[in-house]
Structure 1
Amino acid sequence: MSEIFSITNQDIRPAAQSSSATGRAGEKLAADLLVDNGYRLILANFKVPIGRNTKGVQVAGEIDLIALDGEIVCFIEVKTRRSADFASPLASVNLRKQRQITRTARVYRRIFGLQQSSYRFDVVSVLLENANEPKIELIKGFWNEQKFRKRAWSGDVW
């Protein structure tokens, strides 16, 4: 009985520890794909405070990769999965994640004086089901900032 428990325990521990390694491997594959497609990598894992939550605790935002595609600044989220059985990697780039990346990109653009520069939000999906042949997909312009802008009252009368 203890032998079965120790085998089960061994199976669970490496999986929990290797999720960050999976993410790092995915980011490396994504960076290689971007360079092969003519992007110039600027920065990896940009992390900065972006505000406070409802309890007053400071919230940090992170962008996996920032690159230039010609003259366009690209803020790139990399999502890596070992299996698509549960959900596709793209499924985890939900509205909450998009809003967090959008806010982080605003701070980045403000810090570096890029408010007038063209930019977009891309996603790289990495699926490592077959370690020899990972499936990597680049989606340019996965979302835009428009849906997260505050709307002002137009003043129009109904």
Structure 2
Amino acid sequence: MFGFTRRAARRLLHDPKALGRLGEWLAHRRLAADGFDVVARNWRAPFGEVDLVARRGEAIHFVEVKTRVRHARWRPEDAVTVEKIERYGRLAAYFLKEHGLRDIPVRYHVVAVIFDPDGSHELEFIENAFKP
């Protein structure tokens, strides 16, 4: 369970912010294990935030993390709306400009983290999940 117990996770199931932070931490760990170099967490611009920004190969990867409890009505990735996708496009352009990066491939992914009531979880990496 990546350094936390199911018991501790169960306590977080009723605290959406804490659950979201745990999901982002798990996503970060997964990306690192898959060879990504996470260069920013919760990167902010004046008009929004990107959960994780990573490099792998020649590309910059912008990652939206969605965390839910399994009995929730919707799947985590369903929360990635058209507005969120459009905002990610603007955020990516802003990030690239701010960091002096040009002519670099950009990819957009979703990491869906689903917790069961017993504190166990599943994590799904949805590669190239959207394109603004």
With the shorter chain as reference, the TM-score category is 0.7 to 0.9
- Contact residue 54 and residue 62 of structure 2 kept, 8 A: yes
Q: SS of the counterpart of 2:32?
A: helix
Give the alignment of 1:97-116 within 5 angstroms: 97-116=84-103
Instruction: Name the counterpart of 1:153.
Output: none
Distance 1:131 1:121 in 2: 31
**1:96 aligned residue (83, 103, 108):** 83
Distance 2:110 2:22 in 1: 16
- Contact residue 12 and residue 19 of structure 2 kept, 8 A: no
Give the alignment of 1:57-76 within 5 angstroms: 60-76=47-63
Instruction: Name the counterpart of 1:44.
Output: 41
Q: How far is 1:85 from its partner?
A: 3.6
Q: How far is 1:110 from its partner?
A: 0.8
1:30-51 Cα distance to aligned partner (Å, 9 max, x none):
00110111111100001111xx
| Unaligned 5+ runs, structure 2 | 1-10
- Bigger radius of gyration, 1 or 2? 1
Q: SS of the counterpart of 2:127?
A: strand
- Contact residue 75 and residue 122 of structure 1 kept, 8 A: yes
- Contact residue 65 and residue 76 of structure 1 kept, 8 A: yes
| Unaligned 5+ runs, structure 1 | 1-13, 50-59, 146-158
Instruction: Name the counterpart of 1:11.
Output: none
- Contact residue 78 and residue 123 of structure 1 kept, 8 A: yes
The worse-fitting range, judged by mean Cα deviation, of 102-111 and 128-137 is 128-137
The 3 A distance-change label for structure 1 pair 138 and 113 is same
Aligned residues: 122
Distance 2:63 2:100 in 1: 19
Distance 2:118 2:101 in 1: 39
Q: SS of the counterpart of 1:29?
A: helix
- The percent identity for this pair of structures is 30
**2:17 aligned residue (4, 17, 20):** 20
Q: How far is 1:16 from its partner?
A: 9.8
- Contact residue 61 and residue 103 of structure 1 kept, 8 A: no
TM-score in terms of structure 1 length: 0.71
Distance 2:118 2:34 in 1: 22
Distance 1:41 1:34 in 2: 7
